[in-house]
């Protein structure tokens, strides 16, 4: 009989094979892109091609996502009136005010049942190609882990269950509350934001991630539902001559890197 942890521990018998697309020398381009991405706070007054935006957004959606539940949304604010209001909600920051385009990255804690359903429909289409353990994961384990129940009641019982089980064996400790679900969805969305920003850089454009905004106003402006968490507003465009305020500053890596 299979256990729920088999999805993590057992290597399924599958026919799928996928080679990496990376070629020798790609690391040099990657290094150039990584080092060129800077937070740009002043942009040239020029329009940005939609094709650049589309490509970066496509790359954003290729970021890793927890249980592949794709709990992210990217909202492009195209209307001039809305853009003006968004700039205001971003406290008038120059990185927003001078940007050619503004994108709002949103994490969602309640869209996972819809994506879960799409996943199961996709499995249905793929038939025998999908290992049964994957189906079990999305049919049973995903609803158990990500569902928190009415008023978080299920989450409360999960907390007790995880605690007791955790006394005896390694146990995932969450998500078991609304707050955990926020962290869960923000993690995935932030990874997509980085893909997006690097994607802009790779195409010769710049960005600035912003958390300096009034979330209530941004949510109202974009008509976002309750479960939406505005992760960041990203200013995009071509850097003005004075767009980067100083050389990139990082402290001694000993502060951040550890061996165990
Ligand atoms: C989550 C997050 C929020 C940020 N919010 C703002 C912001 O509101 N305004 C701003 O000018 N920069 C903001 N930044 C940019 C940081 O200040 C910047 O990344 C940092 O100073 C390092 O500079 P670099 O990005 O050029 O390497 C934010 C960055 C992150 C990751």
Q: pLDDT per position in the chain (260 positions), as tens?
A: 556 677 788 888 888 899 999 999 999 999 999 999 999 999 999 999 999 999 999 999 999 999 999 999 999 999 999 999 999 999 999 999 999 999 999 999 999 999 999 999 999 999 988 998 999 999 999 999 999 998 889 999 999 999 999 999 999 998 999 999 999 999 999 999 999 999 999 999 999 999 999 999 999 999 999 999 999 999 999 999 999 999 999 999 999 999 99
Q: Per the domain annotation, does 20 fall within a domain?
A: no
Angstrom distance (rounded) from CA 74 to CA 194: 13
Question: Is the separation of the CB atoms in 187 and 63 below 8 Å?
Answer: no
Residues 89 and 206 grouped into a single domain: yes
pTM of the model as a whole: 0.96
Pocket lining: 38 vs ligand 1, CB cutoff 6 Å: yes
Q: Give the atom of ligand 1 at the shortest distance from the alpha carbon of 244.
A: 26
* Total domain count, the chain: 2
User: 150: which 2 tokens?
Assistant: 């009415």
Q: Per the domain annotation, does 44 fall within a domain?
A: yes
Pocket lining: 248 vs ligand 1, CB cutoff 6 Å: yes
Residues 158 and 184 grouped into a single domain: no
Pocket lining: 249 vs ligand 1, CB cutoff 6 Å: no
Residues 52 and 107 grouped into a single domain: yes
Q: Per the domain annotation, does 148 fall within a domain?
A: yes
Residues 101 and 204 grouped into a single domain: yes
Residues 150 and 50 grouped into a single domain: no
Domain that holds residue 85: 40-111+178-240
């Amino acid at each position: 009989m299979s256990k729920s942890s088999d999805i993590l521990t057992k290597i399924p018998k599958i026919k799928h094979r996928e080679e990496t697309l990376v070629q020798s020398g790609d690391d040099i381009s990657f290094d150039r892109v990584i080092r060129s991405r800077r937070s740009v706070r002043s942009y040239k007054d020029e329009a940005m091609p939609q094709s650049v935006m589309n490509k970066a957004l496509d790359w954003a959606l290729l970021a890793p996502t927890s249980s592949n539940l794709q709990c992210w949304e990217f909202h492009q604010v195209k209307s001039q009136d809305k853009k003006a209001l968004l700039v205001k909600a971003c406290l008038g920051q120059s990185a927003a005010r001078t940007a050619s385009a503004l994108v709002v990255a949103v994490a969602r804690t309640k869209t996972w049942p819809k994506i879960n359903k799409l996943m199961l429909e996709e499995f249905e289409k793929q038939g025998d190609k999908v290992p049964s353990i994957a189906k079990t994961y999305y049919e049973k384990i995903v609803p158990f882990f990500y569902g928190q129940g009415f008023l978080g009641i299920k989450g409360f019982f999960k907390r007790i269950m995880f605690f007791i089980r955790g006394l005896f064996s390694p146990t995932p400790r969450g998500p078991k509350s609304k707050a955990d679900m926020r962290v869960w969805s923000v993690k995935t969305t932030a990874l997509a934001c980085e893909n997006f920003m690097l994607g802009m850089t790779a195409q010769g454009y710049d960005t600035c991630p912003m958390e300096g905004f009034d979330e209530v106003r941004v949510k109202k402006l974009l008509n976002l539902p309750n479960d939406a968490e505005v992760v960041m507003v990203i200013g995009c465009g071509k850097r003005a001559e004075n767009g980067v305020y100083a050389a990139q500053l990082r402290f001694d890596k000993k502060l951040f890197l550890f061996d165990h």
